[in-house]
């Protein structure tokens, strides 16, 4: 017991040094120049006949900077929701189960989501869910009048 007390200060110093390791992404290797890529979305994008939607999970190929997530996600029609970021996964938790009868919800994810190196996503993503048996296909069309010298195209 006396020997243990005599060497306890050495153990304490050793624990301090071991506890000082840097927390964050590993350094070294090739430079990370690519932004995060979405690998999977649950429930699957385009799902129909959903009666209840309690959470949406979005999986990425690398760790996500949690500070970049809240402003990058919008749900239409608007509803209250909470966002959790866990490593390489984003979880969207609506306050109430969304998908009222015959409604379609669109979750827009802008490309401002970043990894810990500051790299943003290459492109945004829209995720669509419906409580009916299909997702409405709406098209906006029109024409320009009194336009000269320029060609405009609509999609």
Instruction: Name the pLDDT band for 41 (thresholds 50, 70, 90).
Output: very high
Q: How far apart are CA 142 and CA 154, in angstroms?
A: 8
Tell me the DSSP string of 72-126. Answer: GEEEES---EEEEEETTEEEEEESS-B--TT-EEEEEE-TT-B-TTSPBPSS-EE
Mean pLDDT of 29-50: 87
Average pLDDT over all residues of the chain: 80
How much is the pLDDT for 1? Answer: 52
Residue 18 has pLDDT above 70, yes or no: no
- pLDDT tens, position by position, 124-141: 999 988 877 777 677 777
Instruction: Name the pLDDT band for 52 (thresholds 50, 70, 90).
Output: confident
Whether pTM > 0.75 for this model: the answer is: no
Structure tokens at 77: 């029609």
Q: Does a cis peptide bond (omega within 30 degrees of 0) precede residue 98? A: no
Q: Which has the higher per-residue pLDDT, 32 or 13?
A: 32
Instruction: Name the pLDDT band for 64 (thresholds 50, 70, 90).
Output: very high
Residue 117 has pLDDT above 60, yes or no: yes
């Amino acid at each position: 017991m006396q020997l243990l007390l005599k060497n306890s200060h050495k153990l304490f110093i050793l624990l301090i040094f071991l506890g000082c390791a840097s927390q964050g992404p590993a350094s070294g290797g090739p430079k990370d120049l690519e932004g995060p890529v979405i690998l999977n979305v649950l429930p699957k994008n385009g799902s129909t006949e959903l009666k209840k939607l309690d959470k949406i999970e979005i999986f990425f190929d690398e760790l996500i900077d949690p500070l970049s997530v809240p402003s990058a996600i919008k749900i239409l029609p608007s509803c209250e929701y909470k966002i959790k970021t866990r490593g390489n996964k984003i979880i969207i938790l609506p306050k109430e189960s969304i998908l009222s009868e015959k409604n379609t919800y669109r979750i827009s994810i802008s490309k401002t989501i970043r990894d810990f190196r500051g790299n943003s996503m290459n492109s945004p993503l829209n995720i669509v869910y419906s409580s009916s048996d299909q997702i409405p296909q709406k098209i906006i069309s029109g024409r320009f009048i009194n336009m000269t010298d320029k060609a405009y195209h609509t999609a």
